[in-house]
Amino acid sequence: MRSLSPWVMVWLCCTVICPPVLRSDCMSDLSYLMDCLSTKDQVYLHRAYDRYTESGRKETRKMLARIPVYASQMERALQERQIPDWVKYLTLAESRLQAQAVSPAGAVGIWQIMPATGRSLGLRINEQIDERLHTGNASQAAALYIKKLHHQFGDWLLALAAYNCGAGNVRKAQRRAKGYFYHEISHYLPRQTRRYIPRVLTIAMIAQEPEAHGFANVRSVARPVVVTASQSTSLEELADYFSCSLSLLNQFNPTFNHKRILLEGQSTAELYIPASVFHHSIRIHPMRIGMALQEQDPIDLKQQLLHPRRNNQVMALRQSKDDSFWYNNLLAFTSAAVNLGG
């Protein structure tokens, strides 16, 4: 038998003693990240896939339909932090993209942010407002948090694990495993996190190419119209103005506690109006109001809007408790009404 050359012996020793390091840096390649999981964790991948495509198929279709409602604001926040776009699908595993989701531990919103974490990231959380429920602000905070975790661990799977169970638990698992990377420490992470990572990777894979996984012709929910209020008001007044139910507006604007929008000084607030409601034929489109304001005397226009003749083409604005609120906010609504989806 021929003896092996010294170089071959060195190569074999290095392969056995120093196996390839699996660093999950390539967030754009989900299959690569899945390969970074340990053999035991591969079982959770199969379970997650069966859950999303079989037993939970109906709920998965609903989640996929909700993506367009929130996608633009999530994508903007992730892009600003140079975080791969598919991380937005983490919200599907976190909250099923339900804006008012609340966990037993107190995490809130589509990103499921805890109160202390939210405040540390600059979100306002008090009796009047909870910005964890605001898609744009919460997405900015979540992106900042994920970026910090990646900077701390230098590994994307570890960053996502820390997002779920906390950086302290990840470091504890590293100490116990006497290892560093996810496939080395996963056995020492909370069971919830071991299931969470495969779920995130699986639902992201499905959401990127839904047709390839049996979700063809998903009917997307229309993105809401974003309007800006420059004066304090309430969702009740908004519902009265747009002639829709209070519960519907509350569903789209859960940020404001007690359904009040309280503003001070020159501050403004973004409000989300369902597209079907905003464009309904029985309401006046803010763009039409804006053009009318440019062509007519504002005082005369207000009288026409509030007291129209029966056959007037411009229908009446329903009078609220404070007519001046709507008149003063007409231009504010006009300036932001065409900004669909944030």
d(CA 314, CA 220) in angstroms, rounded, equals 32
**Hey, how many other C-beta atoms are within 10 angstroms of the C-beta on 288?**
12
* pLDDT score for 158: 96
d(CA 131, CA 257) in angstroms, rounded, equals 10
* pLDDT score for 191: 94
* pLDDT score for 177: 96
d(CA 90, CA 204) in angstroms, rounded, equals 7
AA identity, residue 212: A
* pLDDT score for 332: 42
* pLDDT score for 130: 93
Task: Quickly list DSSP for 130-171.
Answer: BGGG-HHHHHHHHHHHHHHHHHHHS-HHHHHHHHHH-HHHHH
* pLDDT score for 257: 79
Contact 44, 198 (CB under 8 A): yes
d(CA 269, CA 231) in angstroms, rounded, equals 9
d(CA 227, CA 333) in angstroms, rounded, equals 5
d(CA 10, CA 14) in angstroms, rounded, equals 6
* pLDDT score for 28: 54
pLDDT tens, residue order, the chain (342 aa): 445 455 444 444 443 344 344 444 444 578 888 988 998 899 999 999 999 999 999 999 999 999 988 998 999 999 999 999 999 999 999 999 998 899 999 999 999 999 999 999 999 999 888 999 999 999 999 999 999 999 999 999 999 999 999 999 999 999 999 999 999 999 999 999 999 999 999 999 999 999 999 998 888 778 888 888 888 888 888 888 888 888 888 888 888 877 788 887 778 888 888 888 887 734 454 544 454 444 445 555 445 444 443 333 333 333 333 434 444 444 344 334 333 333
* pLDDT score for 141: 97
* pLDDT score for 91: 97
* pLDDT score for 337: 39
